[in-house]
Chains A and B, each alone.
Chain A
Amino acid sequence: QQPVQSPQAVILREGEDAVINCSSSKALYSVHWYRQKHGEAPVFLMILLKGGEQKGHDKISASFNEKKQQSSLYLTASQLSYSGTYFCGTITQGGSEKLVFGKGMKLTVNP
């Protein structure tokens, strides 16, 4: 079952911030975040495994809530290169290792 991502699309000006949410009806083993630019393959950003975890690099960070059913990706001081579609992928606890992705969030960063 696909995780639910919100919002579906965002348009920003350079320097603005964005938050992308990902939620599941079931407790998760892990959450994976990827970015896909037009015409390219998705590229890995980060994985979160522990409830309450927060991690990040540069100005992109993510959190995983204590119940392990929600994650958010934070894009701070956005750059033009952040444009693309962001996907969260989830693996459910107690099940197989199937990695299931949401519908994605299209981010456009304008000068």
Chain B
Amino acid sequence: DVKVTQSSRYLVKRTGEKVFLECVQDMDHENMFWYRQDPGLGLRLIYFSYDVKMKEKGDIPEGYSVSREKKERFSLILESASTNQTSMYLCASSLWEYTEAFFGQGTRLTVV
């Protein structure tokens, strides 16, 4: 079975903390994505990576950065967490642009 694994299902962090969300895929996929899901807003793309060390901004990159040092791992970094970053974060990966994307189970982040 293909797998996209996110390191935590639930996280609670304090305002101002640096937060790392980790995502690992075991399918040798080229593309990896980070989305944020909020009620009524759908899945919004934060960042996209198409190769190791290659990244592109999505629709809402402000307040976030990413790291992809190895093909299988894509990290989302909140440099200084704020309460408006409380959300569900979903990681996904795909082999190519014309193949399906596989999603992780999500990380519910609460910033207090």
Q: Which of A5, A34, A42, A96 contacts B48 (CB 8 A)?
A: A96
Size bin of chain A's contact surface: 20 to 34
Contacting A41 at CB < 8 Å: which of B56, B96, B105? B105
**Residue in A1, A40, A44, A104 whose beta carbon sits within 8 Å of that of B101 in the complex:** A44
Contacts of B96 in A (CB 8 A): 97
Interface residues on B, range: 20 to 34
Asked, given contacts A1-B59, A30-B98, A49-B98, whether A97 binds B45 with beta carbons under 8 Å apart, the answer is: no
Interface, chain A (partner B; CB < 8 A):
1-2, 5, 29-30, 32, 34, 40-44, 47, 49, 87, 89, 91, 96-104
- Whether A103 lies near B40 (C-beta < 8 A) is yes
Chain B residue nearest to A40 in the complex (CB): B105
Contacts of B35 in A (CB 8 A): 101
